[in-house]
Structure 1
Amino acid sequence: MKRFLTIDDIIDVLHKIKQRGLGFLLSKLNIYGIKRTEKTFNQLDYESADWWIIPKVKQRWNLLISGNKNLDYKRYLVENHLQNRKGLRLISLGSGSSHHEIELAKYSNFEEIICVDIAGDRMLEAEARSNKLNLKNIKFVCADFNNYSIPKEYFDIVFFHASLHHFDNIESFVESTIKNSLKTDGFLVINEYVGATRLQFPKHQIAKINDALKIIPKKYRTRYKSNLLKRKYYGSGILRMIIADPSECIDSASILPAIHSNFYTIIEKPYGGNILMNVLKDISHHFTHLDSKKNLILEELFSLEDEYIANNSSDFIFGIYQKRSPTKNIVHS
C-alpha cells in the first residue's frame, strides 16, 4: 500500500530545517523538479548521519562484496575483473562528488573517465580534487543528462554508484542508452539501491525495522544535531519525496529486472540495507566510534538483517554485467 504522508515526513522536514536552514526548505518550493533535484545535490557543506558514515558498516559491505572487510568494491573490481585490461574508457552518470571515480582514475587500467552530473558545485569541487592529484585521465561535465549526448559503442564501462535509482523509465534507459553506449563486450557496473520504488517498503519490512530499532538503547537514538528521539520508523511518504527530490528512487524496483533482461550477469553481490539503512538513519553518528557495547549492538543489527535478506531480496546490490554473452552465463564468487 502506498503511503502519501507519514509522521516520518513531518519529523524529517523539522530535522532538515535544523540541519540545513529554512532557505533549503524554501528551495523545495520551486515548481521545476529538476531545480529541486539540483539543489539537493549541490549543497557541499551538508553533514549527514546515515549508515554509510559508520566504518563497521562499510567493512560489512566489503566483506559481503569482496570477501575481505578491508577490500572495497572498486579495488575488487580492478584487481579481480579488469586486471589484464588497459586503455579502458568509463563513463559515470550521476557521479556527484566523484569520489569513487577519482579513486578508479588512479589505476593505470583507465585511459579515460568521464563524470557527468547536474550539480555544478560538486563538479567543480571534484575537478579541483583531481587536479591536486594530477590525474590526467578524468574529466567532469556539468549537464542535465536529458540534454547530454553519449557516443554509441564508445565505452568499456558504464558505471553507477548510488545514481541509477535517480533515473526514470529504467527499462528504456538500460535497453537503449546504457546498452548502446557500450562496446560489444562492455560492462555495466553498479553499486546501487534497487529496492522499493519511492521507498514504499512492505509492512513486514517496516515491522522488522522497528524490531531492530528496539535493540538500540534510547541514549543512542537521539537524532543528529537534535534532541529528538527516534522512537519508531513509519516509512517515507510519496508526497514529501517528490517535493524534496522528484528523482529519488523514481523507478528503482525496475533496475534489476531491466538489467537481467538486457545483460549477462558476471557477478551480483547483495549486501542488504533493508534494515540497516532505515534503522540507522539520523542516528549513525552514535556508532562511528565503537566501544564493546556499541559493537555488540551493531552485530545484533547485522544478524537481524542477515536473517531478513535470507528470505527477501536485498535493497542494495553490487553487480557487474556484460553486454555480450560470454561462453556461458557465469556468476563469479
Structure 2
Amino acid sequence: MKEKGKIKLGISIGDYNGIGCEVALKTFEDSRMLDFCTPIFFASNKMISGQKSALHININFNGIKDASHAVDGKINVVNVWKESPKIEFGKLTEEAGAFAIRSFEAAVKALKADKIDVLVTAPINKNNIQSENFKFPGHTDYLGQELEGQSLMFMVTDELKVGLLTDHIAVKDVAQAITPKLIKEKVSTITESLKMDFGIRRPKVALLGINPHSGDNGTIGEEDEKILKPIIRELFDQGTLVYGPYSADSFFGSNSHEKFDAIIAAYHDQGLIPFKTLSFGKGVNYTAGLSKVRTSPDHGTAFEIAGKGQADPSSFKEAVFTGIQIYKKRSEYKELIKNPLQKQKIKRAS
C-alpha cells in the first residue's frame, strides 16, 4: 500500500461532447474527494476550462506537464495536447473521438509507468474512436493488449457482481465463441479477482446458461449440455465453487443472485440488463484480470443531455471509490501472500 502521498487517480476524459467531463468535474467539485486521492485529468488546461465554464462547475485546477508532477490536495490536469478542439455538446464528431483516444492512451501510458495508481475512464463512443491507429471495440480490449493478464468486463457494486463470458460481439456469434478454454479462463479470472480485489477468500460463482432455460436438456440448443455442464463439473471437482448453468430469465427475479459472490453471464445483454436494472447509478465497470486497476461509470456518453448540466455524477464517484478500494485490497493481498502472518493484522485493519 502507498506510504507516501495519496493514491494518484488518473482520469481519461472520454468524448468531450458527451457527459464524461461533466460527471468527472462534478465529482471533484466536492473538495472532500481530495482527502481520498489526488485526481489527474489527461486533457489540456483549455479543455477543462472550457468544460467548467460551459457547465458552470466551480473548481480550480493545477496544470502540469507530466503526471509525476501532480500535487496532492489539488485537481491536476496533464496537458496532453496544445490544440483547442471545438466542444459541440451532443454531437458525434470524428475530432472528439480522436481526442478521447489521445487522453486514454496518455493515461494508460502513465498507468504502465506507475505515475498513476488507478485509472478511471469517462465514457467514449465506440463509433468515432475507430482509426488506423486504434481498432478496438472499446477500452477493455485495448487495456488487455497493453497490460498483463486476461481482461474481463466485471460490473460491480457492493451487493452485485456480474462478469461476462463474451462482451462486445454480435449475438449470432456468441455460441460459437464460448469454448471450454474461454469458460475456464473467465471463471479463473473472476475467482482470482474476487479473492485479490474484493477480499473474498472462498468465492461462490454462478454461471448462466447460453440458451433459454439453459437448453432444456438439449431441446433448445445443445451448448449448455455439451459445453457448460461438463466444464462446470470439471472445475467444481478441482475445487472451484462454480455452479450452474442457471436459466437466466428467472435467476435475478427470484433473487438467486444473492446466494453468490459473482454471476457470469454468457453474453453482454444477458448480464448487463439485470445489472443496470438493479444497480443503475451505483454500478461500476471494472476491468478485472489485469496488472493495474481500471474502473469506469456504468453509463455511456448520454449525448441527449450533454451540456445541459443535468448529468448525475453518482456512478463516476462510485468508480473513483471502487478503484481506490480495489487498489488497497490488492496491496493487502500482496502483503498477505508475502507474509501470511500478517493475515490477522490485515483483518483487524479492514
> TM-score of the superposition, structure 1-length normalised?
0.29
> TM-score of the superposition, structure 2-length normalised?
0.28
Larger radius of gyration, structure 1 or 2? 2
